[in-house]
Amino acid sequence: MRVLFLGDVVGRVGRDAVIAELPGLRDRLALDFVVVNIENAAGGFGVTEHICNAMLDAGADVLTSGNHIWDKREIITYIDEQPRLLRPLNYPENTPGRGANMYELGDGRRVMVINVMLRLFMDALDDPFAAVERQIADISLGYGADFILVDMHGEASSEKMAMGHFLDGRASLVVGTHTHVPTADHCILPHGTGYQTDAGMCGDYDSIIGMKKDAPIDRFTRKMPGMRLEPADGEATICGVMVDTDDATGLTTRIAPLRLGGHLSTTLPAQAS
């Protein structure tokens, strides 16, 4: 199976770039499934029903999120009605929406997507390791699911690496979001799980993690509340990671970063063989 994951979409330029490029990427790379993290897509904070629908119409199969999922109140109703939009799995019981779901391709192959939020330097949620363990307890690669993807939304690289090794051999791809900077450690872990500490963002990199530069600099240098944070509006770079897996095992056979447009150097996976 060939799956593409795109990191946090930030603001209008990020979502416009993804919506414009995703249909072509699906064809060019012969993608079977696409997951996009959209928690910063609406003005840098949260997401709306309209944006979710536009992303799904452009070719995303599933939308994941993180700590900004509730920033737009309208999403509270929508997320209960839309099984292709996930919020972190380890929110308390009875939180609206779902943190994991199974999706079936037209050919019958099954993909489980799990969205979890880590805890170091983040809001205190339930144990993410225990939450994921419970989710996959009755599902194994090659039996319950043909592909298992885990979007781990977190700040600390150590916690993300721990999650990767915790799931090595039990998930197809474990990939980080939230820091908005693509890491260079994409690899296949010893037991066959594809891994990257952070996929980066889909947004303007002539910025401070997707935001116009003046307000964050002012906050750091003056230590006082200042200007409102606003998404940068220059050309966006689309950042993500693509994996190929063995359909017999669900484990990764190839992992490759994707960067397209904007200020970062372009890196595209090789054409489908």
CA dist 131 → 59, 110, 128, 144, 260 (Å) = 29, 21, 5, 18, 34
Q: For residue 63, what are the β-bridge partners?
A: 36, 85
Report yes or no: 39 and 67 within 8 Å, Cβ to Cβ. Answer: yes
Report yes or no: 62 and 37 within 8 Å, Cβ to Cβ. Answer: no
Among residues 68, 178, 180, 186, the one annotated as catalytic is: 68
Count other Cβ atoms within 10 Å, centred on residue 63.
25
Output the six-digit token pair for 116.
Answer: 């979890």
Q: What amino acid is encoded at 142 in this protein? A: G
Backbone angles phi, psi at 211, to 5 degrees: -105, 150
HSE-up (13 A, CA, CB side) for residue 153: 31
**Is 68 part of the annotated catalytic residue set?**
yes
Q: List active site positions.
A: 68
